[in-house]
Amino acid sequence: MTAPLHNEQFRLAARPVGLPKPGDWQLTSAPLREIADGEIVVKTLYLSLDPAMRGWMNEGKSYIRPVAIGEVMRAGGVGVVVASRSPRFAVGAQLAGGIGVQRYWVGAADDKSAAFVQIDTRMAPLTTWLNTLGMPGMTAYFGLLDVGQPKAGETVVVSGAAGAVGQTVGQVARLLGCRVVGIAGGKDKCDFVVNELGFDACIDYKNGNVRDGLKQHCPNGVDVYFDNVGGDILDTVLTRINMKARIVICGAISQYNNTSAVKGPANYLSLLVNRARMEGMVVFDYAARYQEAVAALANWLQAGSMKSREDVVDGLERFPDALLMLFEGKNFGKLVLKVADA
Ligand SMILES: NC(=O)c1ccc[n+]([C@@H]2O[C@H](COP(=O)([O-])OP(=O)(O)OC[C@H]3O[C@@H](n4cnc5c(N)ncnc54)[C@H](OP(=O)(O)O)[C@@H]3O)[C@@H](O)[C@H]2O)c1
């Protein structure tokens, strides 16, 4: 008789005020239960750490229900099926879906909240399925194309440029023939997006003035601004937009840990003057079209016209600290947590 597999799970212990603290988490450990007909066990290989996780920890109405106190923290991830009593997924199948911050996921193979799909690592490595071919890539693709609607020759500005969503936004805009200007924190990230990803320019907001940078690098103004950060940077870009500009509200990471009110854009009348629009987007609205984006992005990756950079932190136990890297700009590329060897 073999010993039962043991699960370790990070549960939400308290709703954070400001940045999440170690005491906001509880690490629990228990043997895995036996599975019933229709169920599978997925061993977690890599977890996606996302800025959105901070929002899911808050109480209140949003586009998705909050994680409950005592519940396993929600997280996307990739894993491998290690036990199956379902015809849907065989042992050995590699899946992407809502695994949660835990070593094993157990439940019905067709569970709606996990929404597992089989992935093909001949197309791209596992971690790329959490980045360009995963949720951030879908966000970049549909946010830019559907909401930003860039045209060749236009100027596209993207903040969080070296991050998961930003890197793909900028590269897709470049492939469409746009002038692409990134905004990122630090010389290394700016060098990367220009030299490795082919952006036309990058503004280092930590060591320079964003307004001056926009004047210099966007001589024809800004047609599309893909906003990942909100706050002062959004306000500054608003002063440089063109007639009929499109601003994609993808995220506002500068505001997620505020203990006071979110800082809204003071310069919003620029939208009036320029007959411009600002529109929010949530990636899950595009779920029925993910295959379209995966096909396009995988083609570009395989042709070598696009890159996917991930930043891997090793060890489930490092989850609480690793999550904070996002809010300190310490991740360089899509942040993933390695939980086990493939
Ligand atoms: N709407 C949707 O459906 C959807 C889906 C996915 C993601 N998002 C949003 O997209 C944004 C980017 O997510 P991601 O997964 O790609 O993360 P990411 O860019 O890989 O990582 C977060 C980055 O944000 C930057 N940052 C942190 N604090 C900042 C601050 N105070 N001011 C300016 N920049 C700051 C840091 O980069 P620097 O070092 O450059 O500062 C950090 O590396 C987030 O706002 C996220 O919530 C939205």
Query: Which residue in the block uniquely carries the two structure tokens 């549960």?
Result: 11
Q: Ligand 1: residues whose CB is within 6 Å? A: 50-52, 135-136, 139, 160, 162-166, 184-186, 189, 228-229, 250-254, 281-283, 326-327, 329, 331, 334-335
The Cα–Cα gap between 271 and 267 comes to 8
**Tokens, residue 239:** 């002063």
Ranges 82-91, 156-165, 234-243, 259-268: which has the least confidence: 259-268
pLDDT tens per residue, range 96-117: 999 999 999 999 999 999 999 9
- Beta-bridged to residue 225, according to DSSP, are 157, 247
Q: Give the separation between CA 98 and CA 105, rounded to whole angstroms.
A: 9
Residues 6+ apart with CB under 8 A from 333: 131, 162, 163, 164, 167, 309, 310, 311
Query: What φ, ψ does residue 161 adopt, rounded to 5°?
Result: -65, -30
Average pLDDT of the chain? 97
Question: pLDDT-derived band of residue 2, with 50, 70 and 90 as boundaries?
Answer: low
Query: Could you give the CA distance from residue 110 to residue 118 in angstroms, rounded to a whole number?
Result: 12
> Which atom from ligand 1 is nearest to the alpha carbon of 335?
20
Top mutation candidate among 228, 234, 328 for ligand 1, by most atoms within 8 Å of CB: 228
Q: How far apart are CA 19 and CA 22, in angstroms?
A: 10
What are the beta bridge partners of residue 181?
157, 201
Which residues, 6 or more positions from 12, have their beta carbon under 8 angstroms from its beta carbon?
Answer: 24, 25, 26, 57, 67, 68, 69, 70, 71, 73
Which tens digit of pLDDT belongs to each residue from 310-320?
999 999 999 99
pLDDT band at 29 (very low <50, low <70, confident <90, very high): very high
Q: In whole angstroms, what is the distance from residue 332 CA to residue 320 CA?
A: 18
Cα of 76 from ligand 1 centre, angstroms: 16
What percent of the chain has pLDDT above 90? 97
**Residue 41 CA, ligand 1 centroid: distance in Å:** 32
Write out pLDDT tens, residues 249-299. 999 999 999 999 999 999 999 999 999 999 999 999 999 999 999 999 999
The CA 186 to ligand 1 mean position distance, Å, reads 15
* Distance (Å, whole) CA 68 – CA 88: 29
- Model confidence band, residue 5 (pLDDT cutoffs 50, 70, 90): confident
Per-residue tokens: 265: 């854009």
Which atom of ligand 1 is least distant from the CA of 251?
45
Residues 273, 304 contacting (CB under 8 angstroms): no
4 has a pLDDT exceeding 80: no
pLDDT at 1 over 60: no
| Residue 316 CA, ligand 1 centroid: distance in Å | 22
- 177 torsion bin: left (phi>0), alpha (psi -120 to 50), beta (else): left
Residue 287, pLDDT score: 95
Q: Tokens 């209140």 identify what position?
A: 60
Q: What domains can be seen in the chain, in order of their start residue?
A: 6-131+309-338 (3.90.180.10), 137-284 (3.40.50.720)
Q: How far is the CA of 174 from the centre of ligand 1 (A)?
A: 20
Residue 314: CB atoms within 10 Å? 11
Give the SS3 label for residue 225. strand
Query: Is the per-residue pLDDT at 47 higher than 60?
Result: yes
Pairing state between β 179-184 and 155-159: parallel
